[in-house]
Structure 1
Amino acid sequence: MGDRPGALSCSVHRDLDAQGHPDGAATSAQARAFSKAGRSGPCTSHPVSGGVASMKYAAWVVVAMLVVASAGGGWAQENQGVLLAKGLRLLGEYRLRYEARNAASFFAGDGDSPKDESSRLRLGLLWEGPDKSRIFIEPQWAYQNTHGGPGPTSMMLRDVDVLEGYASMVDHGRVWKIGRQTMKFGDSRLVGNLEWGNTGRSFDGIR
């Protein structure tokens, strides 16, 4: 199942300045300078057009809430999800995060007090056979709002994608896995799942 078995979690982060007060928004003068310069950061916000995306977001959140409600005490402590049928489990994760940063860049007037809101929803299905073979698929829906300013590079992906989709089998004590999967080696500089970002990272391959 990769390095992360779809636990249900929710986290909210808010940075404070040295005096313990929430970071303020960029001044209007900074915002005008940023707009006039025509510069943008690694990621800029893309306003949601129409009500379709909002409805889709609400629908995903409702689905997640229904999953939690229907699970009741069924979520195992080992994050094994909800047992739907023999060998079939439903896994899920919803994460909401808010960030406010002060002096995010060295350039004056670049709107360097950005605020970002990001969320992601993952719902996965895991089938396990009696011979320890597995089939797993986990779509992911990610959303972020940078309020028109620059955002971190970890917020570049949005909308729906398949985070993991693989099949695995055990042969002579060795586990073989083929398909899209999360991997983590060493300090994750080259190969890692990057779970600190909004979308994470996965790889297509065989191992």
Structure 2
Amino acid sequence: MQTIRVLLVDDQPMIRTGFRLILEAEPDITVVGEAADGVDAVESALSLNPDIVLMDIRMPNMDGVEATRRIAETGSPSRVVILTTFDLDAHVVDALRAGASAFLVKDGPADSLVGAIRTVAAGDAVLSPRVTHRLLDRFAHLGAPASPDVPSRLGALTSRELDVLRALTRGLSNAEIALELGVGETTVKTHIAHILEKYGLRDRVQAVILAYDCGLVVPRSPR
């Protein structure tokens, strides 16, 4: 069994202790270090090479969004899971654009945190349902109307890859996309891998942001 190595980043020692107790109760997760602000987070991520950086957003010296951006810019394989009590729209979008692979709110159950860490460590991305709705609503405010033509920026994608990308923007799982398109789940994974490779994206959340930025899909109307 492969062990998932986690770096805890939060300016509150009691919060870090709580996360450590939750995570180290799992047989496949170990905490390799702690940091109290974004500056220490970047340094620790580079020196410890954790699989997952569990990152708070609001911290002194450097916030979690900037720390996430700097970790991503180094080319580090570490993936960032953002945890915060503030599920504000700007934080969601900024953190995901910076390179975060997951965004969860701290008032969620412990098993959702553990599940998110395992999912992201396996190479996927995850958002809590509440944050997903807020993210899509955010794009509904920001997004421009989609063109009936495929945006030129997405010209490198095949028609089937475009179908898969559209399905990703609707939040469908690989199994659901496979069923909808009438292909195997392995084929869907291959298409997603090609999309990520062609545009240098870290995961499917980044692909969704690209689709909205390019106007491939029309965001839903705000509630």
TM-score between both structures, scaled by the size of structure 2? 0.21
Relative contact order (alpha carbons < 8 A, sep ≥ 6): 1 or 2 greater? 1
TM-score between both structures, scaled by the size of structure 1? 0.22
Structure with more helix by fraction: 2
